[in-house]
């Protein structure tokens, strides 16, 4: 609880939905343009492997951020929800395992995947909200492991240990969405939509009530809010986001197997969300980008320094520890503090870090 108690999101102004464009700071426009024009400069590897993967992981971490940051519930089951959506895509759509895959068309299996994964997330939520705070971590971790073991043992539906290969996005409007540039825009679009949705929901009456529930459930209950329903609804919404991320991820890796949702992957998502900064939605993507860069290039960097690249996990773990220790607010928090310090050096009167990084 403690972390999210401090981690109050910058107070959203009521009615900020109006005139959104004029309020968006210049830095955001610049970021948007750079991201849109990226394919002009970046190579295929960067587009598909670095950015595409970052967006997918970022969306999944975003769903965790939503639950943890606005709902005060750290759920480790988000990766599982995403992987389940991926499995549904593989089972109902096309894959290399022809005995199992049904081969429906995309406009059927994509909504079904989101629906099924959301249903699962809601169910888990209904179970998890019976407990609070740290209990939630344990229960969701246990459910995630149960799902992992189940998929590994079940051959009839989930194809057991091997999982599914050759799960590729459909050819639509004459575009092969697996091509790096196409996939880049697809995942960028998905990330933008999910980001906007999370920001919008967080400022909606529901989102505000959810933050109220996070800060003081008893008061909200006495005000007539149904605390349990709000929490379960938050799980459902986060489930939709995670499912979208999961579908994109299965298309990116083109395969899904039990280990995609194993304990390590589950913890990775938590690390991404925390390292990026669990207070703001954009933190999820920052964290994902850092994580992808590290896991892609750390072997090169480590061996350049004469270290064995087997120690990659150690780097990640120590980095995570440092962030949790010194900046509960993640990398974004560090950045803001640095800016605040610089600004305060210039003008101590307005030396507060506000507005700039807020959603």
Chain positions contacting another protein, by CB under 8 A: 1-4, 43-45, 48-49, 53, 74, 96, 127, 130-131, 133-135, 137-139, 141-143, 145-146, 149-150, 152-155, 160-163, 165-166, 253-255, 257, 259-260, 263, 267, 270-271, 274, 296, 299, 302-303, 306-314, 316-318, 320-321, 324-325, 328
- Output the smallest distance, CB 170 to another protein, in A: 16
Residue number with CB closer to another protein (73 or 113): 73
- Output the smallest distance, CB 347 to another protein, in A: 32
- Output the smallest distance, CB 311 to another protein, in A: 7
Residue number with CB closer to another protein (177 or 206): 177
**Is the Cβ–Cβ distance between 262 and 71 less than 8 Å?**
no
- Output the smallest distance, CB 144 to another protein, in A: 10
Residue number with CB closer to another protein (156 or 348): 156
Contacts of residue 91, Cβ cutoff 8 Å, sequence gap at least 6:
100, 101, 102, 157, 158, 164
Residue number with CB closer to another protein (36 or 314): 314
Query: With helix as H, strand as E and coil as C, how does 193-214 read?
Result: HHHHHHHHHHHCHHHHHHHHHH
SS3 category, 99: coil
d(CA 22, CA 240): 29
Residue number with CB closer to another protein (145 or 344): 145
- Output the smallest distance, CB 169 to another protein, in A: 13
| Helix residue spans in 93-226 (DSSP H) | 106-128, 134-153, 180-203, 205-215, 217-222
Q: Which residues of 258-286 are buried (b: 16+ CB within 10 A; e: fewer)?
A: bebbbeebbbbbbbbbbbbbbbbbbbbbb
Question: In the block, which residue shows the tokens 């290039």?
Answer: 297
Residue number with CB closer to another protein (24 or 134): 134
- Output the smallest distance, CB 304 to another protein, in A: 9
């Amino acid at each position: 609880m403690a972390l999210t108690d401090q981690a109050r999101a910058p107070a959203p102004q009521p009615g900020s939905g109006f005139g959104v464009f004029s309020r968006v700071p210049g830095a955001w426009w610049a970021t948007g343009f750079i991201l849109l024009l990226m394919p002009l400069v970046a190579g295929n590897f960067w587009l598909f492997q670095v950015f595409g993967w970052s967006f997918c992981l970022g969306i999944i971490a975003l769903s965790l951020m939503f639950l943890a940051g606005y709902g005060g519930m750290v759920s480790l089951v988000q990766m599982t929800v995403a992987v389940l959506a991926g499995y549904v895509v593989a089972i109902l759509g096309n894959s290399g395992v022809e005995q199992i895959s049904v081969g429906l068309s995309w406009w059927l299996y994509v909504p079904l995947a989101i629906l099924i994964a959301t249903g699962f997330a809601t169910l888990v939520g209904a179970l998890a909200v019976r407990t609070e705070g740290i209990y939630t971590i344990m229960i969701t971790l246990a459910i995630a492991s149960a799902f992992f073991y189940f998929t590994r043992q079940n051959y009839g539906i989930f194809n057991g240990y091997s999982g599914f290969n050759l799960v590729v996005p459909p050819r639509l409007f004459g575009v092969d969405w697996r091509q790096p540039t196409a996939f880049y825009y697809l995942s960028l679009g998905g990330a933008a939509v999910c980001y906007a949705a999370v920001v919008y929901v967080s400022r909606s009456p529901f989102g505000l009530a959810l933050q109220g529930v996070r800060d003081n459930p008893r008061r909200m209950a006495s005000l007539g809010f149904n605390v349990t329903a709000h929490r379960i609804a938050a799980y459902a919404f986060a489930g939709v986001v995670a499912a979208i991320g999961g579908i994109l991820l299965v298309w990116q890796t083109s395969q899904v197997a039990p280990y995609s949702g194993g304990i390590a992957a589950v913890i990775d998502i938590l690390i991404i969300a925390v390292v990026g900064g669990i207070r703001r939605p954009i933190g999820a993507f920052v964290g994902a980008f850092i994580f992808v860069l590290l896991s892609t290039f750390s072997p090169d960097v480590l061996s350049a320094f004469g270290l064995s690249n087997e120690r990659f996990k150690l780097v990640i773990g120590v980095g995570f520890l440092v962030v949790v220790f010194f900046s509960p607010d993640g990398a974004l928090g560090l950045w803001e503090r640095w800016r605040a310090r610089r600004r305060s050096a210039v003008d101590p009167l307005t030396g507060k870090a506000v507005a700039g990084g807020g959603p």
